[in-house]
Structure 1
């Protein structure tokens, strides 16, 4: 075990494998959570992870050998083996993204508690990003556990002192809530959802109040650049609502790799 933890050549491939497996789980979970939220169904978490995976089109249950991350999608050429319906590339993309971030955390922090903390953090952000992109929702089932997890880790000064984490959560929430209220007063429209407040509060709970300017700056710049890029490519109208959660996630990850 000591040799394993001391050798990147050994633990990085294991991190990649773990990331692929977790990515496969997240691709299933985000699909089910998103559908339940769209249907406004009050579904218990255990019921979301219970039951075998099935083709969304024909509902045929999939055996284990058709659930191998990435390889199954490639082998089946992106189609269901039974009904030949197209299988979204979201599945291998989520799996590869999760694997890449898992390896990045292991590479950045080595064999340490920080790797565990930040890998869990990245997995939460991936799940929230996928659901927000697909349904424009940031669910309490993800934002609130992330917030509490950050506070609990920082009770032991895991990342920042607890006082900074508490202030970070409070200021993060109130900052976006205040902007929301001002935008509503002057335009009569809602500029963002309450999930954005909670996600920024969670990021503040992880990294403290001093990280909030960096998070907001990175999120705002990323949102501006990507939105204008999609508009220039005629893939997006500037009048279309744009989820802000993925950009807040980018801001949070920026603090992981380039801390304040």
Structure 2
């Protein structure tokens, strides 16, 4: 898929969620959307999460954290620390069980960056929504391939875009409340 078309699809998807939730955007929102789209496009094209984007997410999230009340800072810091640990443990157990990677280290770094914006509680919804969306997409993809070839074929998908679009929706919902 051409890069311009992929970016346009992401901008439209993020814009649609923004319009549905009727949430006003400030500079933070534009920065977050831009970073999430950057990560998603690269992950779809190369199955790779760019370190620069994750560092920017983490840095800006931590900067935004200092504008939050102290009680929120604890939840945000927990999101930065706990979700990457959960993802790392999941990836390690899966690799030991199956003998190959099912979750990349980029996804582990990505949830740390997202956690700095959404905290432990927000990331819980992000991971739930992204997991369900990813599973449904994978199942639909398998059904399409089966109907074409007559055989079920397993394949992987980039998980970053699911995490990012879910994070965008949850972040907007948290701001509306």
TM-score range, shorter chain: 0.7 to 0.9
| Correspondence for 2:7 | 94
1:150 aligns with 2:65: no
| Correspondence for 2:167 | 252
Please identify runs of 4+ aligned residues in structure 1 that moved more than 4 A. Answer: 102-107, 235-238
**Is contact 1:147-1:203 (8 Å) kept?**
yes
**Is contact 1:131-1:137 (8 Å) kept?**
yes
1:196 aligns with 2:110: no
Q: Structure 1: state its 5+ residue gaps.
A: 1-87
Question: What secondary structure does 2:68 align onto?
Answer: coil
| Correspondence for 2:77 | 166
Higher mean Cα deviation, 191-200 or 232-241?
Answer: 232-241
**Is contact 1:173-1:200 (8 Å) kept?**
yes
Q: CA deviation at 1:253?
A: 1.6
**Is contact 1:133-1:243 (8 Å) kept?**
yes
**Is contact 2:61-2:113 (8 Å) kept?**
yes
1:123 aligns with 2:37: no
**Is contact 2:17-2:169 (8 Å) kept?**
no
TM-score by length of 2: 0.83
Q: CA deviation at 1:96?
A: 5.6
By relative contact order (CA 8 Å, sep 6+), the higher-ranking structure is 2
Question: What secondary structure does 1:109 align onto?
Answer: coil
Partners of 1:179 and 1:147 lie apart in 2 by 22
Q: CA deviation at 1:99?
A: 5.9
Q: Deviations over 1:130-183 (max 9, x none)?
A: 11111000011111211111111111118x822221111001110100101111
Coordinate RMSD, CA, aligned:
2.6
Partners of 1:101 and 1:211 lie apart in 2 by 18
Change (3 A) 1:238 1:144: farther
Q: CA deviation at 1:241?
A: 2.3
Change (3 A) 1:103 1:239: closer
> What is the number of equivalent residue pairs in this alignment?
169
Structure whose alpha-carbon radius of gyration is higher? 1
| Correspondence for 1:8 | none
Q: Structure 2: state its 5+ residue gaps.
A: none
